[in-house]
Structures are given as C-alpha cells and as structure tokens.
Amino acid sequence: MFELKDLLDFDPEQERPRSLDSGISNAAISEGPEGVVVYTVYYEGHTYVQVLCLQTTTNGIMQLDNGTSSQTNTSVRTITKVSFHVTSLAIGQVETGPFAIIAGSDEESIIIYFQPVHVPGQRTLRIPHAFGVKKIDLEAIVSLVTASIPSGNFVLLCGTRNGWVVTLEISGTTLEIVSSRCDRIGATPAILSKDESSRSGDLFFVSCDSKVCALTLNMSSASATGSGRSLRGLNINQVWWTDALKPDLQQPSIASIARFPDGISSADSNLLLVAGSQLLLAELSMQPKAVPRQMPLRGTPTRLLYSHALEVLIVAASVAGRSTLFFIDPETGVDLSQPIDQKSKLPTQFVSGLGNLNERVFRLFEWPYTKDGKTWNFIIVSTDTGRLLIISVADQDLVQEDIQRASNQGVGASYTRSKIGYYTRYKFKSVEPVYSVVGFPDGLLWCAGETLFCDVLNLAEKKFKRSAEYQLPSAAIDLSYDNGNIYALTQAHSLELLRLISNHGVFQIVRTHGDPLSRASLHHSTLDTTLSDRPIHIVSDKMCSIVGLWPTHNTKADTLKTLFEAELSYSVLRFRAAECRPVWDNIWVSKNPDSHANGSSKMIRAEDIQDLRKRPEMLGLSITGILSHYTFLDFRSWQFLRFLINLAIRSPVLCEFTYQDDPVPLDLANEPKIMMHVDGDILKRCLDERRLEDLLRLGQETVEARNIFETFCALLQAAHDGALDEDATAATYLDQAYAFLEEYLRPVL
C-alpha cells in the first residue's frame, strides 16, 4: 500500500517530494490503466496536474510502498498546470497511450482539458453553460467515465452537478468532438461509474436523485465513413429493486453502487449497494421487465385514480361487501383516509351514501370546479345502486402543508403524512344505475339508465338545479366533455356526439353526429391532430377491435366516418392519455441538441422529421390485464412501417404459426382500413433480433429481392422527407431503418 502523503509531498517546480507544510490544500485522485494515477494539487494559487506511474515487477506484483521492496519503480511528475477550477478527473486510452481528462469551469463555459501522459500535446474543449440549440442549462461536471468504440474513437460521459449526462464521441486521433447529446437524469449531481466487470465494456451506472440508472451505448450497424460502428446514442434504464419476500417493498434511496468482478460474486448476488446505513447485496438483471409492487388494502379495489390535488391514490373498494374509499400514499402505501360525518366532523365508518351492501362503484374521478377565480376540488362517485356523490376533503390547507413539507425535504427523504378527512357534501339518487358522469364549467352531466341529465350548481343556494335532459338510444357507459361538446359512448349504439348549448342560463342538449354502425362499446378517447380542428375519436369494443372515427362536416347527413380499424387479440377496457415517459426521453428535450461532424454525414432520426410533442399517444388496459401503447402515425411513417409488417408476416421465423406464403405487396396506395393498424409487437421482434437483412433478402440476386429493397429504400426516404443520402450504402439504409424502429418502439414507461 502507499500513503496519501506520497502523492502530496512534491515540489511543482522541481518535481520532487517536499514537506506537507508547503501550502498544499487539496487533491483529487483518479485511477487509470497501465498503473497510472492522476491527481491535482492546489499550490500557491495554481492547480497542478500530477501523474504517478506505477510499474509491475517481474513476478507481476504491483509495488506501491517505497519501503517494501527494492523492485519498486514509481515516478511522480507534473504534466500540466491549469488556471481553472478542477471539478472532476478521469483517464482515457488511445493508440498513443493514456491521457488525463480534466474537467473544470469558469464564468464563460465548462472546460474539458485533454493532457497525454507520455507524449507532448494537449487539447481544450469548451462547452457553453447554455448547451445546444435548446440552450440547456448545464452546471459543472462532477464525474467522468470513458469507453472505447470500434471506430477508433472513444466516448466520454460527463455527469453534471444539476443532473444532466453529456455524452461526447471524441476522435481518437484529433480529440475533436464527432457528435454529442445531452440527457436529463434528475435534479441532483449525476455521479457516473463504469462497470468494470461488464464483458462488453459499455455498461455504466449513474446515481442521481437517490436513484440509479444503467447506461449502455447504442451503436450503429455501420458508420457513414465505413470506419466501423459509431455511437448512435444511449440506452437508459432505471434500476428497480425487488424482493420476492416483500412484494410491498419501497424503493430505497441508493447512495452508491458497484458490481463484483467475475469470480467473486455468487449466482444470486453480483451487485453491492449502499442505501442509507444499509449495505445491500442484489442480483442485476440486464433484461428490462415490469417491476411489481403491491399495496395491501383492507378490501377489494374496483376503481382507481391518482389525485393531482391531493397527491394520493384514491381507490374505490368493497370491504365485506360494502363500498368505501381509500386514500393511499403512493410512496409508502399507507392508508390516509378518514371518513367523517358532514355535520359533526367526527370519524365514521362510511361517509353518507357509501357503505351499502352489494354496491359497486361505476365511476370515480376528480372534478376541479372553478368559479370567480376560486377552485374547489371535489371527488365524484357514482354507483350501480343509483347514487351520485359529491365528496369533499375536510382540511385542504393541512393537505397542502403536508405536500409542501414533503417537497421541501427533497428527493429520497422520508416523511409521515397526516390523515385526510373526507365527507359527502351532496348526493343524487336515481332508481336506475348511474353508469357515467362528467363535470363541465357549470355543473355535472350524468347518465342514469338511458337518460342524460344536466345539473347546474347554484352557488347562492349551494344546490344543483336540473337544467336539461336528453334521451339516449342506450345507456352511456362513458361520458366526456370538451368546450361545449359531449361525447357519449353508449352501451349498444357506439358513439354519440352532442352539443350543450347555453342561452342566458338556459341549457339545451342537441345531437350533432353519430356512428352509423352499432358497436358493443367499451371505452372512448379523443386524439387532437394537426389535420383538422375536429379530433379523431378512438372507440374500443367487446369484439377485440379499435376503430378511429372522424366527424364529417357540411354533408347531407353528418356522421362519424371510419378512418381505420384495428383487430387485436384482446379487448381494450380503458384508454388513458399519459405523459409518463422517463425524464431523459427525447420527447422532453432534444435527443441531440448539438452535434459536430468531421466530414461524415449526420444520422437522421425520426424526431427530426416530426415533432414528437405533436404525436398523440395513449395507453390501453385490456380485459386480460395487458397494458398496451398506441401511437398515431403520419401517412409516410405508416407506409414504411406497414411495408415492414407485410414482410414480417411472411417470415416463418418472426410469425411462426401465422405467417403467409404469398408474394409481398409492393403497392400500399389502396390498403383497406383494416390494414391501417401496425402491430408494434411484430416490429419489436424484428428490431430485437435484427431481422431486416433477412426480410429484405439481402444477398439474393433475384428480381423480387431487388424490387423489395428498392421499395424499402423509397419508403424510408419518404418517411424522412427525402433527407437521406441517395447514394448511401445498403448498410447505412439498414442502420437508418433500425434507428427509425428504435424511435417508435422505445419504452413509454
């Protein structure tokens, strides 16, 4: 072993040891290859970068302590002097040998300084604090890691103090930036570490916000210059912790993570973690998959919603056959609900209107009612016994204080929330079941049996007044409201479009559009597109179908026109629009905010063609429990992806039991509406198994194979608005196609 003073005791002018009382204030140490240790020492107003070269003896033992063996051969020397404040160190390796990477900053920019260890020369890169086209605000770099890639370049990953990871592909000869990207991991310092035990050498960990993410390099199939595979981007996956014996395990706050070297770890533990005062052993699974977490309840849940106002899960449940509500802390799983009596405000077992035997909650949602600049958040509950309840929280200020206290304590901090008292403020009673209900600016729209009611809230009298009724062809199992439009999805007659008209406080409901076909409907959602001011309506039914409907305008009989229809293997029970992509997804920030090219063509990605924020997407929950994701495609993207589907369903490898043995259709101009659906599961198998080469029949010298590849190139070029290089190689086109699939098929959660 060696003592720290062996590194600190030096004279920066004479490069020889001297006493510790010479004004040395601090040092940073980074270990690298070939027995090289680089460290910095602040001395008399300057920062000196020192390198300690450690050599092995003939018996292969590294000697570090000058007093232990005469075979020791070490040298300490100053390799450079810098004027900026050093925040991180690392060591890289190129053909000419190791070099020090010194990160720092000044008022103008972030500085990355490359200093070779054995040969002269240096290189300074400056990154603006406002980085890239999006002007991302970057703070000082606090961690650095490197990795070599087959093209001869190397990748430098930089973790910043404010939670960003900047990825730079650096030329191995000129140390110029070839390409760059920036990913948001969190808000606290992003501490990077390299998994030295990874066989591929491209696995990294980043600790941020008391969480850990695994990073892997996403390499292209071939570079544009033909010099080997180049960096396309990063694959980022959060590392989640599970315990088969504790299905309700909360995610611990991880401070540090490390992998055991090969040969040391056991079959069920290859990861070492520090969580608070605990030292944990775990097994790391490199295959992303769903992480189950259970929250025990005292009853059987029937409906669920997340309250943004209360920051709790509100669960409608049946306890011993009686209906009730639970308010669950999503972080801890603790039940915070406290039903109280409206008048006495004393605790009770059930609020008024709930607690009835054999009662089921049909509808549960949060209704923010705004009037005269004030907002009241109500919880609306409807049941199969004909009850419609308006529920209030007793002490909203206490709830907000709890939320603010949790926010002030920061990420990973534990806290205990107060009980949430709630009571029934108002209730309706009907003879028939209340199937659906929705709020609008003046009151509530709700359906009991086949009748749609419109009740307006009178603030002066604090009562609801019946303002309008409408007779539907069958019961509305789902209602939604948008700017005067009522969308009523009926049980047996598909979708009805109604208009709520107000004239001096007098309301009227009129029908504007309807689906000419009857459907056994399940759920309805809308997609706002740039095609028209009229949205596209998505309807699922019990026949395992999803149909896209579009309202006609100024026709002899305005109806809902069928745009597309998809046949699934399951029925979608609920649609939900969700902004649930991780913080590093390129829907939130440009994937490549700044790029530099060294005479090579730029990689063209799907998000360069169409702004992802304009692509509607939704989640669907099936009756069988499958959670699926749906994306609305533009026509050219659909043409290209549909062509790949037509190829894939004729492959016995990808579709073993359902493949078709007939010629591939090359003309997609007149596809039937049933073909407007693209099966992402098939495309995912094609992407994961890298099957495009086989599907395109590359290497086969036949007329059909040539026509297939020419159609593939033409459709890919059209999907990129003609921005691809027409003279590019087949490998480049394949790489662009894989990048296109990766963009569309990346995980939504």
Q: Please report, for the chain, the start and end positions of each structural domain, with discontinuous segments joined by +.
A: 126-289, 300-429, 634-745
Q: Provide the 3-class DSSP secondary structure of residue 81.
A: strand
pLDDT on residue 458: 86
Distance CA 454, CA 486 (A): 11
**Per-residue pLDDT tens for 399-443?**
888 888 877 776 556 678 899 999 999 999 999 999 999 999 999
The answer, yes or no, to whether residue 95 has pLDDT greater than 80, is: no
Q: What contacts 469, CB < 8 A, 6 or more positions away? A: 451, 452, 453, 454, 509
Give the percent of the chain with pLDDT over 90.
41
* Cβ–Cβ under 8 Å, residues 54 and 36: yes
* Statement: residue 606 has pLDDT above 50: no
Q: Is the pLDDT of residue 17 over 50?
A: no
Q: What is the pLDDT of residues 461-492, one digit of tens each?
A: 888 999 999 999 999 999 999 999 999 999 99
Measured CA to CA, the distance from residue 702 to residue 721 in angstroms comes to 29
pLDDT, tens digit (0-9, with 9 covering 90-100), for 234-275 = 889 999 888 888 888 888 888 888 888 766 666 566 888 888
Name the CATH code of domain 126-289 (choices 1.10.287.130, 2.40.110.10, 3.40.50.300, 2.130.10.10). 2.130.10.10
Given a cut of 90, is residue 81 above it in pLDDT? no
Residue range 222-241, pLDDT digits in tens: 544 444 567 778 889 999 88
Summarize the confidence of residues 652-670 as an average pLDDT. Answer: 81
CB 518 within 8 A of CB 530: no
| φ, ψ for residue 312, nearest 5 deg | -140, 160
CA dihedral 80, 82, 88, 92 (to 10 degrees): -30
| Dihedral angle computed from the Cα positions of residues 290, 319, 476 and 505, in that order, rounded to the nearest 10 degrees | -110
Residue 656, both tokens: 């073993």
Helix or strand run (H / E) with residue 606: helix 606-609
- Token pair of 350, please? 């059930």
Element (H, E) at 36: strand 36-43
Average pLDDT over residues 28-37: 64
Nearest alpha-carbon partner for 98 in 56, 142, 140, 154 = 154
What is the pTM for the complete model shown? 0.81
Of the candidates 183, 196, 186, the one whose C-alpha atom is nearest the C-alpha of residue 157 is: 183
Separate counts of helices (H) and strands (E) for the chain: 8, 44
First to last CA, the chain: 47
pLDDT for 74: 66
Q: For tokens 């077992």, what's the residue?
A: 349
Mean pLDDT over the full length of the chain:
83
pLDDT in tens, 557-590: 789 999 889 888 899 999 998 888 888 887 775 4
Kindly report, residue by residue over 142-165, the tens digit of the pLDDT. Answer: 999 998 888 788 899 999 999 999
How confident is the model over 337-352, as a mean pLDDT?
92
pLDDT in tens, 42-53: 777 778 888 777
